[in-house]
Amino acid sequence: MVRRITGFSKLSKEEKIDWLVKAFFNQESITKETLKSYWNTDEKLQRLHDDFIENTISNFYLPFGVAPNFIIDGIDYTIPMVIEESSVVAAASLVGKFWSTRGGFITTILGTKKIGQVHFMYEGNTTDIEAYFNGIKSDLIESTEAITANMRKRGGGILDIELRSKTDQLANYYQLHVTFETKDSMGANFINSCLEAIAARFEKDGIQIVMSILSNYVPECLVRAEVSCKVEELIQGTSEIDPLVYAEKFKTAVAIANVEPHRAVTHNKGIMNGIDAVVLATGNDFRAIEACAHAYAVKEGSYKSLTQCEVKDGEFRFWIEIPLALGTVGGLTALHPMAKLSLELLQNPSAEELMKIIAVAGLAQNFAALRALTTTGIQKGHMKMHLMNILNQLGATNEQKEKTVKYFESIPVTHSAVHEFYKTLQ
Active site residues: 85, 269, 285, 382
**DSSP helix/strand/coil, 77:** strand
Residues near 91 by Cβ (< 8 Å), separated by ≥ 6? 364, 365, 368, 369, 372, 381
Spatial strand order in the sheet of 114-122: 157-165, 173-181, 114-122, 207-215
**DSSP helix/strand/coil, 337:** helix
Strands 207-215, 114-122: pairing kind: antiparallel
Instruction: Return phi, psi of residue 393, to 5°.
Output: -65, -35
Strands 222-230, 106-109: pairing kind: antiparallel
Quick check: 385 and 355 in contact, CB under 8 A?
no
Residues near 106 by Cβ (< 8 Å), separated by ≥ 6? 73, 225, 226, 227, 228
Q: How far apart are CA 360 and CA 300, in angstroms?
A: 23
Q: How far apart are CA 264 and CA 73, in angstroms?
A: 28
DSSP state of 332: G
Quick check: 148 and 185 in contact, CB under 8 A?
no
Burial 393-409 (b: 16+ CB within 10 A, else e): ebebeeebbebbeebbe
Q: What share of the chain is helix, strand, coil (3-state, %, to 5)?
A: 50, 20, 30
Q: How far apart are CA 370 and CA 274, in angstroms?
A: 14
Quick check: 59 and 40 in contact, CB under 8 A?
yes
Q: How far apart are CA 409 and CA 269, in angstroms?
A: 29
Cα 370–Cα 371–Cα 377 angle in degrees, nearest 5:
85
- How far CA 230 is from CA of 104, 146, 318, in Å, comes to 13, 54, 12
